[in-house]
Amino acid sequence: MDFDSHFRGALEALKAEGNYRVFAELQRKCGAFPKVRHYDAEGEGEVTVWCSNDYLGMGHHPDVVGAMVDTVRECGTGAGGTRNISGNNHLHRILEGELADLHGKEDALLFTSGYVSNWAALSTLGAKIPNAVILSDEKNHASMIEGIRHSRADKVLWKHNDWRDLDRKLKAVGDRPKIVAFESVYSMDGDICPMREIVEVAEAHGAMTYLDEVHAVGMYGPRGGGISEERGLADRITLIEGTLGKAYGVVGGYITGSHALCDFIRSFASGFIFTTALPPGVAAAATASIRHLKASSAERAAQKANVAWLRARLDRMGIPHQANESHIIPVMVGDPVKCRMISDILMKEWGIYVQPINYPTVPPGTERLRITPGPLHTEADMEHLVQALSALWRQCALAHAVA
């Protein structure tokens, strides 16, 4: 077989469909966010980022940067291997204590990313709990889907955010051990789950609850504990999973729960046992970020104000965007080729970077620009974005929203 020929053919098909992914070459400059350097064949320039998951700009916060720099100077760059081999770095345990406190849990366990924490935890629970069945929201993240698949446990899908359908599916499962897996904020539509109803249904059926809070930690609740903290439900959820790579501005994932649960995952999850641990500098930076956002609501308040301002301005200009309660603004295009074209023009002519979201991340026909305003965007930045989108909507003959 001519493997390269096969690879090229598959890539050409992606390009013809408008679903070929092009990654912009960017360079963040500490203290300048959301402005970054952009590099292409024509040279370099400055653009404003509108799609970062560093939602609060904490990756540039002086306390976070300082903690990482100081720790690298003191401890070096790497952890030395897996925690099984190189031991528990003291800074890992401090961070896990902060995370357990954040969610009101007995313990926490660090992973190298949010993807890995979902994959490792769900695959371990499904594989090691005899006769378990995992009931998964149909729009759960790929990391959750892969973890469930790898566990080889029976899986039941329930309709997105439909707690009544979940109730029916739980009844049908019967007396088997049940794990209900869902997210708080869904990253592409920005919708927030009916958490109280889901938790109550799961409790009524004796099910374990597994909550992914990756797009909510740092962002919601009086201390940044997520939607579960904001709604006073954290203590009723068995396992809360999160990330350090979004609102906290660093990298890594984690789970929180009881001592027994975290020790169970630590002892059986291959995705933990055989993976090199996070560098101590990362752990120190994440701890500084979490501590800051536990005490400060200024970043969250400024971010929410900017989201409200931008949504109102988009409405006035007739730019269609999905309504939701979160910080994510999906601006709907509905065509993969036009979505890519708009993204390219925004970069080249307007100095705006927002990545197009196409299939398979979202269903065909729902292509969009996923915009995430942060506290460091200025009113001038937001007005510039609105004017650019308005001009491109006319240029590309896209439908405006009906007032």
| Residues annotated as part of the active site | 246
Measured distance CA(335)–CA(338) in Å, rounded: 5
Length of the chain: 403
In contact, 362 and 370? CB cutoff 8 Å: no
| C-alpha Rg value of the chain to the nearest Å | 22
Measured distance CA(308)–CA(303) in Å, rounded: 9
Measured distance CA(163)–CA(171) in Å, rounded: 12
Measured distance CA(263)–CA(269) in Å, rounded: 10
Written as six digits, the tokens of 151 are: 């566990």
In contact, 121 and 269? CB cutoff 8 Å: yes
In contact, 292 and 56? CB cutoff 8 Å: no
In contact, 218 and 58? CB cutoff 8 Å: yes
Q: Sheet of 356-357: strands edge to edge?
A: 329-332, 368-371, 356-357
Query: First and final CA of the chain: distance in angstroms?
Result: 56
* Residue 89, number of CB atoms within 10 A of its CB: 20
- Amino acid at residue number 125: L
Measured distance CA(123)–CA(106) in Å, rounded: 22
